[in-house]
Amino acid sequence: MDIRSHTFDRLRKFFSSGLDIVEYAGLLVIAFATTIAMYQEAMLMIESHRVTLADLLLMFLYLEVLAMIGQYFKSGQLPVRFPLYIGMVALARYLILDIKEMTEWRMLAVTAAIFLLTVSVLAIRYGHVRYPYREDADEKSAKPYVRE
């Protein structure tokens, strides 16, 4: 029985390491592609001699993606809030760019979606502060409170 358990543990570690490598490689590809897209957008702004709000929001989306990747590399965890922030900014950008062609109902739907994402972020933050994970509670008791 002990040999079977040992073999299973070694196999699990091997596949876990392989998945970690693929995960990190994927994150590096996303970071590289985002950096290239950001550079291309900056070049378009320079060529047109014009910066619009849509350009700034797009650059902000790129920065949020890079921050999300950086957070994952630093902590090994990805807060659910990051994709929600990206969704809110993407919807705001969509609203700003297409507001002239939108019907009232579509505008209302987009703003309702932004509002729902905002409420989701607040609920997640409240839940995290009010009901922290055991690891978070252990960390907070070990060091003084630091505001995020």
Taking the model in full, what pTM does it have?
0.68
pLDDT in tens, 41-73: 999 999 999 998 889 989 989 998 999 899 888
Residue with tokens 């502060």: 129
Assess contact for 99 and 107: CB atoms under 8 A: yes
Per domain, the residue ranges of the chain are 79-148
The mean pLDDT value for 28-34 works out to: 95
Residue 45 burial (CB < 10 Å; 0-12/13-18/19+)?
middle
Assess contact for 114 and 99: CB atoms under 8 A: no
Ramachandran region, residue 87 (left: φ > 0; alpha: ψ -120 to 50; beta: rest)? alpha
pLDDT number for residue 138: 57
pLDDT in tens, 75-119: 877 778 888 998 998 999 899 888 889 999 999 999 999 999 999
- Residue 140 CA to residue 129 CA, distance in Å, equals 11
